[in-house]
Structure 1
Amino acid sequence: MPQPAAVQSPEWWRDRLYEALTKRSADTKVYDDYYECEHPLPHLHEKARAPFRRLLKMSRANYMELVVDALVGRLEVAGFQSDTEGDADEAAWRLWQDNNLDGGSSLAFLEAAIRGNAYMLVSPDPKIGFRITPEHPTQVITEEVPGQPGELAAALKLWIDDWTAKLCCTVYLPGNVYKFEAPEPKLGQSHLKPQWVRRAVRGEDWGGKNVLGEVPFGELANRPRMLKPGASELRSVIGIQDRINKTIADRMMTQEAAAFPQKWATGLEIPLDDNNQPVEPFNIAVNKILIAEDGAAKFGQFAAADLTGYLKAKEADVHDIAAITSTPPHYLLGSMVNLSAEALKAAEAGLIHKIYQRRRFLEEGLERTMRLAGFASSQARIVWKSPEWRTEGELVDALVKMAGLGVPREVLWERWGATPQEIERWRGLNEDALDRAMSGDLAAEYGPKPPASEQPLDAIPAE
């Protein structure tokens, strides 16, 4: 029987973090399913599920995707701002661009909003200095030093190598990095503990030195709490999504069975077939009329089912989602009727506040990532694009008033929404224009004068 690994050995960290990662991935899979519109079918009696299965599959209206996208769509890094002299902010932005993190960061923000956490891995790269990659929360997990929040003790990265059909993992400690592999779990055996062995890559030893000297991950946590990790944006509303799906399913079944007026007739003699079975006397269609020779015959129809109640119930549930998630109602309902600019701003105020709150915690992970890549916190302060949408006229009017109060032009450019790189370029353009203007003024004042015949009359001194 194998002996348990020594506490804080590479094998101990591997087993401990693998178990935690597996549990967290299973717990958060439900949020990923709801974002991808893989909702469970609404409940029906077992005898009714087969006939109405087609309608059940059509009843899923995915509001969860809208809730997440409304937040993530306004999380965009614009650049970096440094408090030190030099080009540290430009170097940080250049590294960001070299690693394609305009899109990569958006992917990480999306996964963090869905599952509660995402990660950035920093590793040395001979070409660009450091390679920064977004990591999925089902493949990476970290653990902090007990009693020292923010200081990482270890991390695990897990993935399946499609080329070798192996389950691979890497354990990151502050001093060293260790690699393991195991046969890929077969279908239905994912609950079994992998049979790990040490893994050598391209002839290298299974363990190596961690040149960064720290666990090389920045964690992007969504809505964390004290003593609790990040949480999904969908945690509180998947039950409401189920209610909406149930309401839609009931409405569609009502439409199928009772939304069309049912006809009735009295005073008719029903014909029988050769087997003495009643035969339907009429072939009803929209382009046909009913005629009976018997004068006592009467025709009529029942009232169609009223669907108003279903529609109002669904709308009420959508309003609940909007209130709980601070998502503007018109995003979810898809309708705007006579809304003023002030009303739209008021509707989006909750979303804007939520974005500012979420950014505080995302910044911590991004700043740690840039620090691991060699930039101090004073050299790589995150600059975000404004999440507020204002008309150009409103913005210009506010900036003109601020300029009248003596606010520096660089600050006005920043409020306009310019990135640090654009501000630097504009500053250079202004300085060039000023230099040209000054040189032209000096030449006019002290340069050679044109002949008297070419000077205007008022410029020639009187004798």
Structure 2
Amino acid sequence: MAQAPAVQSPEWWRDRLYAALSRRTEKTNVFDDYYECEHPLPFLHEKARDPFRRLLRMSRANYMELVVDALVGRLEVAGFQSDVEGKADERAWQLWQDNNLDGGSQLGFLEAAIRGNAYLMVSPPEGRQADFRITPEHPTQVITEAMPGSAYKLAAALKLWMDEWTANLCCTLYLPGNIYKFDAPEPKTGGKPVWRRREVAGEEWGGKNALGEVPFGELANRPRMLKPGASELRSVTGIQDRINKTIADRMMTQEFAAFPQKWVTGMEIPVDENGQDIEPFDVAVNKILIAEENGAKFGQFAAADLSGYLKGKEADVHDIAAITSTPPHYLLGSMVNLSAEALKAAEAGLIHKIYQRRRFLEEGLEQTMRLAGIASSQARIVWKSPEWRTEGELVDALVKMSTLGVPREVLWERWGATPQEIERWRLLNESALQRAMAGDLAAEYGPKPGIGPEAEPADL
């Protein structure tokens, strides 16, 4: 029996973090499936599942994607702003752009909303790379652990991936002082990997960590004091299952009972040569039913009423809207004569949720930028406003604020301009002012018509 690795040794950290990552991935895969509309099929008796499988697959209406996208669609970093002298905010924005983090941050926010966590990895400059490299990392491939008693100081991190060239499972362990690399043949289902040292040409195994810190910023979605981030879908997957069940029942009712069923009495049913009853009528839209018997009577049963199914589904959608603070018209797709005030009230819960989620995402972004050498005091993160207002409302509010002496830069920021746009507009204003002043001075002190050595001789 192999001896357990020493506590806090590289092998101990590797096994500990790999086990934690596997457990978390298994739990959060459920939420990823719901977001991707891979819901479990609604329940039916085992004997009925195969005949109705086509209807069951058609019954999945994916409200989980709408819940997540309503939040993530309004999480957008606009730039960085500095309260001290220097160009730290410009450097931060340049670093952001060089690493394509306009899109990369959105990927991180999306995975955090679905699975509860995502990560940004910081790599120091090396080779031809002149600056830090920042990459979004998937929560099924990265996990971190904080120091005891310090939620913001990381003790270790593990990055895991499958090498498609060698078919080996690879991992890299990051400790504040060193970096250790391992690989293993792909384990069988349910088996544990048999790790070995992964040697890389030109690198020393267990080489020094150039940053001196664990190089990850965590994007956590609604964490708690003693619990990590949680999925936005955690409380509503059961309601999604109810909706799918209601839709499945409605579709089966439509299939077999939504059309009026006809009946006839007082006529003899024909039989075939074997004595088996023959269906007497071939019913179609362009055909009529005729019976030779004098006492024959025709009629039809009422079609099944589907309104109960529709009301049940709508009630469940309202439950999702209430629990997730998603405006109901996002999910129901219906807006009937809603005023601007009513729309604003309907979105109030979503706006509050966005501001709340941003506080914790901002911690991870600031940690990432700090690892890249930019302190949050030098370059504060600026978000785009999540509130949608009409242009008339916004301009009217800004004009009123300007009468109170609010600086133009602040008004531009409230309007939604990025820090880069504000700086450009400020320079354009200064340039226009200088040109205007130069024109005024020239008009005041420049040569006058008919005066000076270049003036034309006055008519005598």
TM-score tier, shorter chain, comes to over 0.9
Given residue 372 of structure 1, which amino acid in structure 2 is its aligned partner? L
Structure-2 separation of matches of 1:30 and 1:24: 11
| SS of match in other structure, 1:103 | helix
The worse-fitting range, judged by mean Cα deviation, of 261-270 and 111-120 is 261-270
Q: How much does 1:172 deviate?
A: 0.4
| Mapping for residues 161-240 of structure 1, pairs under 5 Å | 161-186=163-188, 189=189, 191-240=190-239
Does residue 275 of structure 2 align to residue 276 of structure 1? yes
Mean Cα deviation higher: 120-129 or 74-83: 120-129
Tell me the CA shift for residue 439 of structure 1: 0.3
Deviations 1:125-151 (A, max 9, x none): 342410000000000000011112211
Please say if residues 170 and 177 of structure 1, whose CA atoms lie closer than 8 Å, have aligned partners that are also in contact: yes
Letter in 1 for 2:421: E
> What is residue 285 of structure 1 aligned with on the other side?
284
Paired residue total: 451
Q: Which one-letter code corresponds to 1:61 in the other structure? A: A
TM-score by length of 1: 0.96
Q: Which residue is 2:110 aligned to?
A: 110
Q: Who is 1:321 aligned against?
A: 320
In structure 1, what is the Cα distance between the partners aligned to 2:76 and 2:201? 38
Partner of 1:457: none
| Aligned counterparts, 1:331-350, within 5 A | 331-350=330-349
Deviation at 1:269, TM superposition (A): 1.4
Shift of 1:50: 1.5
State the match for 1:34 in structure 2: 34
**Percent identity between the aligned chains?**
83
User: What code does the residue aligned with 1:59 have?
Assistant: S
CA distance in 2, matches of 1:50, 1:371: 56
Deviation of 1:276 (Å):
1.4
**Alpha-carbon offset, residue 341 of structure 1:** 0.8
Find the residue that maps to 1:181 and give its secondary structure. strand
Deviation at residue 185 of structure 1 after TM alignment: 2.2
Task: Report the Cα offset of residue 379 of structure 1.
Answer: 1.6
In the TM superposition, residue 178 of structure 1 has moved relative to its aligned partner by: 0.6
Contact 1:98 1:128 in 2 (8 A): no
Aligned-CA RMSD value:
1.2
Contact in 2 for aligned 1:95/1:128 (Cα 8 Å): no
Summarize deviations over 1:244-303 as a string: whole Å, max 9, x none: 001001111111111111000011111111111111111110110111222211100000
Give the Cα–Cα distance (whole angstroms) in 2 for the partners of residues 382 and 198 of structure 1. Answer: 40
Give 5+ residue unaligned stretches, structure 1.
453-459
Deviates more, 1:432-441 or 1:373-382: 373-382
**Distance in 1, Cα, partners of 2:79 & 2:130:** 18
Asked if 2 retains the 8 angstrom alpha-carbon contact of 1:177 and 1:209, the reply is yes
- How many angstroms does 1:84 deviate by? 1.6
> Residue 113 of structure 2: SS of its match in structure 1?
helix
**In 1, Cα distance between the equivalents of 2:239 and 2:77?**
32
In 1, the alpha carbon distance for the partners of 2:289 and 2:6 equals 88
Is 1:159–2:158 an aligned residue pair? no
Separation of aligned partners in 2, 1:299 and 1:352: 60
Residue 132 of structure 2 aligns to a residue whose secondary structure is strand
For 2:398, the aligned partner's letter is L
SS at match of 2:119: strand
After TM superposition, the runs of 4+ consecutive aligned structure 1 residues lying more than 4 A away are none
Match in the other structure for 2:144: 142
Give 3-state SS (helix, strand or coil) of 2:299's partner.
Answer: strand
Q: Where does residue 132 of structure 2 map in the other structure?
A: 130
- 1:256 paired with 2:258, answer no
SS of corresponding position for 2:350: helix
Aligned to 1:429: 428
Q: Which amino acid aligns with 2:37?
A: C
How far apart are residue 306 of structure 1 and its match? 0.3
In the TM superposition, residue 182 of structure 1 has moved relative to its aligned partner by: 0.4
Gap runs ≥5 in structure 2: 452-457
Give secondary structure in 1 for the equivalent of 2:427: helix
Measure, in 1, the Cα distance between the counterparts of 2:215 and 2:145.
12
- In the aligned structure 2, how far is the partner of 1:114 from the partner of 1:208? 35
Q: CA deviation at 1:83?
A: 1.5
1:20, distance to aligned residue in structure 2 (A): 0.4
CA distance, structure 1, for counterparts of residue 45 and residue 146 of structure 2: 48
Aligned to 2:6: 6
The whole-number CA distance in structure 2 between the counterparts of 1:23 and 1:49 is 31
Partner Cα distance (2:235, 2:361) in 1: 21
Is the CA contact (8 Å cut-off) linking 1:180 and 1:206 kept in structure 2? no
SS at 1:129's partner residue? coil
